Chain A
């Protein structure tokens, strides 16, 4: 199994530009999670999907952030316009169950730097 695949691994962009991060969950997993990790705040949940439907997006910092999951094998996290404070590592994870069981499998992360 290829695991959770994220792209790009690294992105450097200028303030104001649009950034799109991509995630392919493990085949058959029905829950997908986007997390952000910064030195100041550590790991935080941004949004999660169950069966392609967004369940809780209360962690999304503001309207500049949006996430979609058009099908079971693909999700995007978009930042428009980007700001320097968005610089962080963004992790995607998937799990087999959307209930109270289910081990999490993380991608390698996308390291975003906004200049």
Chain B
């Protein structure tokens, strides 16, 4: 059983749709990262959160520590949001000591 599970694995949406990606984890301390990887391969950290909700532009991340669950929402999706979204949980010692989900591949059609 994967210790960090994401759903869905693949997601296709029309431009403008509201998108939700889910992440559940069974290990780790009380924090979680959301990362974005574009087709070119580079990885960007979107959020690191340990409670509640964080918002950056059209992106919103929420976390429920008790339920070990996090969601990433994209409002008014755009083709440039097409990427792989990865959640990761620190195992302790350092925030970079991460165990990763398999990623959700998002494709937003114009």
CA distance A97 to B98 in the complex (A): 15
Of A14-22, A68-76, A104-112, the one contacting chain B is A104-112
B29 close to A100 (CB less than 8 A): yes
Q: Contacts A43-B86, A91-B43 given: A104-B95 contact, CB under 8 Å?
A: yes
Please report which residues of chain A, range 9-68, place their CB below 8 angstroms from some CB of chain B when the two chains form the complex: 31, 33, 42-45, 48, 50, 55-56
B25 at the A interface (CB under 8 A):
no
Chain B interface main SS type? strand
Residue of B nearest to A59 (CB): B97
B100 close to A44 (CB less than 8 A): yes
Chain A interface size, as a band, is 20 to 34
Chain A interface main SS type? strand
A-contact bits for B66-105, CB 8 A (1 contact / 0 none): 0000000000000000000010101001111111111100
* Least distance between B2 CB and chain A CB atoms (Å): 10
Q: Contacts A42-B102, A45-B97, A55-B94 given: A106-B29 contact, CB under 8 Å?
A: no
Q: Contacts A42-B103, A43-B88, A103-B48 given: A98-B43 contact, CB under 8 Å?
A: no
CA distance A97 to B100 in the complex (A): 20
* Least distance between A105 CB and chain B CB atoms (Å): 7
B110 at the A interface (CB under 8 A):
no
B44 at the A interface (CB under 8 A):
yes
25 A–B contacts, CB within 8 A, in A order: A42-B101, A43-B98, A44-B100, A45-B99, A48-B94, A48-B96, A48-B97, A50-B94, A55-B94, A89-B41, A95-B94, A99-B94, A100-B29, A100-B31, A100-B90, A100-B95, A102-B95, A103-B48, A104-B33, A104-B35, A104-B45, A104-B96, A105-B45, A106-B43, A109-B42
7 closest A-B pairs by CB: A33-B96, A106-B43, A43-B100, A104-B45, A102-B95, A108-B42, A98-B94
